[in-house]
């Protein structure tokens, strides 16, 4: 591990300075230096998806991203997606479907769904299952998660008729829309 270096990161629309070795997995920086609880440690091997974050709107596994690789790219964590007051449509859909048992995998599921919607506004069932294929859930919450992802597609669509926001915070809209 090489010596610590100062980095400034663009996390959830704020600029954050951290000092750590460039090899440090971003996951630990987000959790320990920035006190973010969204991304979770599940395997450290890129296998489970618990640590997923958005980097420039694309889902990546922060356990395999070295701090030094991130540069000025925009990082969004579960916290930055939306807040309890201003939920992102995907978060809202997951809450409405109660798509969690223990909820440990939830971060990855929501991030993966948000990323899917960023690249495909109208995914079908196969596309949803494929996008979540490498996200593991041991509780067997798959049914509820799939339902939530379908609902998220509808919420996001309804929201787009109000305004278009790429992956940012949005007003609590489209609550009445059922998928």
Q: Give the shortest CB-151-to-ligand FES separation in angstroms.
A: 17
Binds other proteins by CB under 8 A, chosen from 74, 134, 160, 172: 134
Distances in whole angstroms, Cα of residue 100 to Cα of each of 11, 37, 108, 121: 26, 16, 12, 24
Binds ligand FES by CB under 6 A, chosen from 42, 80, 82, 89: 42
Q: Is 28 in the site for ligand FES (CB under 6 A)?
A: no
Within 127-166, the residues that bind ligand FES by CB under 6 A are 137-139, 141
Q: Please, what's the b/e burial string for 75-87 (b: 16 or more CB within 10 A of its CB; e: otherwise)?
A: bbbbbbbbeeeeb
Q: Is 81 in the site for ligand FES (CB under 6 A)?
A: no
Distances in whole angstroms, Cα of residue 25 to Cα of each of 18, 20, 62, 80, 121: 13, 10, 7, 19, 31
Q: Which does 116 bind (CB under 5 to 8 A by kind): ligand FES, other proteins, none?
A: none
Residues in contact with ligand FES by the rule CB under 6 A: 41-44, 46-51, 61, 63, 100-105, 137-139, 141
């Amino acid at each position: 591990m090489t010596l610590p270096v100062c980095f400034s990161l663009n996390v959830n629309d704020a600029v954050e300075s951290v000092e750590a070795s460039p090899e440090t997995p971003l996951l630990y920086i987000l959790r320990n230096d920035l006190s973010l609880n969204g991304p979770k440690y599940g395997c450290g091997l890129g296998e489970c998806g618990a640590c997923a974050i958005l980097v420039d709107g694309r889902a990546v596994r922060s356990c395999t991203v070295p701090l030094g690789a991130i540069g000025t790219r925009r990082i969004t964590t579960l916290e930055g997606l939306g807040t309890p007051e201003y939920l992102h449509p995907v978060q809202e859909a997951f809450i409405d479907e109660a798509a969690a048992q223990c909820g440990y995998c939830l971060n990855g599921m929501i991030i993966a769904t948000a990323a899917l919607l960023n690249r495909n506004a109208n995914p079908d069932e196969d596309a949803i299952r494929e996008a979540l294929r490498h996200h593991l859930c041991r509780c067997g919450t798959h049914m509820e998660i799939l339902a939530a992802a379908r609902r998220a597609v509808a919420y996001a669509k309804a929201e787009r008729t109000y305004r278009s926001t790429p992956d940012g915070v949005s007003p609590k809209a489209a609550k009445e829309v059922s998928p």
